[in-house]
Amino acid sequence: MARSKIIATGAYIPAQNIPNEFFLDSMFFDPDHMEIQQSRETVIQKFKAITGIKQRRYAPEGMTASAMGTRAAEDALANASIDRESIDLIIVAQNYGDMKYHGAPRDMVPSLSSRIKHNLGIKNAGCIPYDIIFGCPGWLQGIIQADIAIRAGEAETCLVIGTETLSRVLDPTDRDSMIFSDGAGACIIKKSLDGNSGIINAAVRSDTGTELEFIYSGGSNRGEIDEARFIKMKGRKVYEYALKHVPLAMKECFDRSTENIENLRMIFLHQANEKMDEAIVKRFLELYGIESLPKNIMPMNISTLGNSSVATIPTLLHQVVSGELESFGISGGDVIMFASVGAGMNINAVTYKW
C-alpha cells in the first residue's frame, strides 16, 4: 500500500531575538480600552508563567513570509537531495500574506506559493502552487491535502510550507501580542511504496458557530485605531475550546490508526501556549487511562521561539530531526502524532510512522 512519507525537513528561524524584557516600555490596555493597572513587570511575569514564553523571533523589516518560506524550502530541498523540477505540488500555509513592515498592506496576490515557486526557479508548468488559509493548523492541513493528492495518484512529490510574519499584525497595546512570532518551516513529502512508514491516517474538525471569532482581526486596544488590522484572540475561549475538543480529535485519529497507544513515541503539538499544550496532551492520554506524561513525549520550542502559527510544527519537527533539541530524537518505526488548533476554529491531527 502506498503511503505519503516525509523525506526531508527545513526551517528558517529569524535571527532577531526578542526577550520578554523588550515589552517593559509597553503600555497595555484591555479590550475595553482601559489601561491595565498592574505593573509591566507583573504583566510580563504572569505572561511567562501562563505561556512558558521567554523570548520570540521577529523577521527583519523588509523580509516577507514568502521570502522566509523560500529559505525554509531551500533547506528542505538541500536535505532531500532531489531535483526541484520533480515537485508536483507546492502547498503554502499562511494567514496574512506578504507584509514588509508592521502595519503594511496584506499582499496576497499572486499567492505566496506562486512567489515561492518563482523564487525557487522551478520551471515545471506541471508543478501546481496554492495557498491554505486555515489558521494555525494550516501546515498540518497542507500535509493532509498532500497525502490525499498522493494517494489519489495526482502527485508523487509535494513541498509543504508554513510561513508567517505575525510581528507585522501585532497590537503593541495588547498583552496577548507577546505570544506571537515569525518563522517558516517546510518538508518534502513523497509517495512511498514500502508500506511500513509514512502517514497512517488523519482527522479534521471545524466549528464556525460561536467559535468563529475566538481569533479574529481588530483595532488597537488603546482605541486610537479603528481599522481592523491586528491579530486578536479571546484567550480564555480558545483555551476552553482547545481543551474540550483537541484531545477527542486526537483520540479519534489515533484510534482509527489501529496502533497501540503504548507505542506512541512522540506528539508534535502546535506551539500555542505551554500550559495549554501540556493540558491537551495530559487529557488525551487520560482518555487511555494514562495518568502521567511519559518522558520526552512532547518536544517544545515555544519558550524560545514563541507562537509562529503555521510554522510552529514544521520548525519543531525540523529541530528534532536535526538533533537540535536535547533528549528528543526519532528513529525508524517510531509512531508519532501531529495535532493543531487555531482560527476558524479548526482542529486537525495526523498519525504517522517514521
CATH class of the 198-353 domain in this structure: alpha beta
- Who's near 124: CB < 8 A, 6+ residues apart? 85, 86, 87
Q: How far is CA 184 from CA 3, 187, 244, 261, in A?
A: 25, 11, 29, 31
- Continuous segment of H or E residues that includes residue 8: strand 3-12
pLDDT tens-digit series, residues 212-237:
999 999 888 887 766 668 999 999 99
Residue 293: what pLDDT? 85
CA separation for the pair 144, 199 (Å, rounded)? 9
How, if at all, do strands 89-93 and 157-165 pair? Answer: parallel
Residue 229: what pLDDT? 86
State whether CATH 3.40.50.12780 applies to domain 3-192.
no
Q: How many CB atoms lie within 10 A of CB 321?
A: 20
Sign of the CA dihedral with 173 first, then 175, 178, and 184 last: negative
Same fold for the domain at 3-192 and the one at 198-353? yes
Residue 227: what pLDDT? 67
Nearest CA among 160, 158, 192, 154 for reference residue 86:
158
Band of pLDDT at residue 75, cut at 50, 70 and 90: very high
Is 263 in a helix, a strand, or coil? Answer: helix
Q: Where are the domains of the chain?
A: 3-192, 198-353
Quickly list DSSP for 69-136: HHHHHHHHHHHHT--GGG--EEEEE-SS-B-SSTT---B-SS-HHHHHHHHHT---TT-EEEEE--ST
CA separation for the pair 26, 16 (Å, rounded)? 19
| Model confidence, pTM | 0.94
Write down the mean pLDDT value for the chain. Answer: 94
Q: How far is CA 118 from CA 121, 123, 230, in A?
A: 5, 8, 29
Cα Dmax for the chain: 61
CB 343 within 8 A of CB 135: yes
The half-sphere exposure of 274 on its side-chain side, counting CA atoms within 13 A, is 17
Band of pLDDT at residue 300, cut at 50, 70 and 90: very high
CA separation for the pair 39, 214 (Å, rounded)? 27
Helices (H), 200-295: 235-257, 274-286
pLDDT tens-digit series, residues 60-69:
999 999 999 9
Q: What would the mean pLDDT of 202-214 be, rounded to a whole number?
A: 96
Cell of 294: 511519559
Residue 196: what pLDDT? 81
Band of pLDDT at residue 262, cut at 50, 70 and 90: very high
- Who's near 13: CB < 8 A, 6+ residues apart? 57, 183, 305, 315
- Is the bond preceding 298 in cis, omega lying within 30 degrees of 0? no
- Who's near 48: CB < 8 A, 6+ residues apart? 20, 54
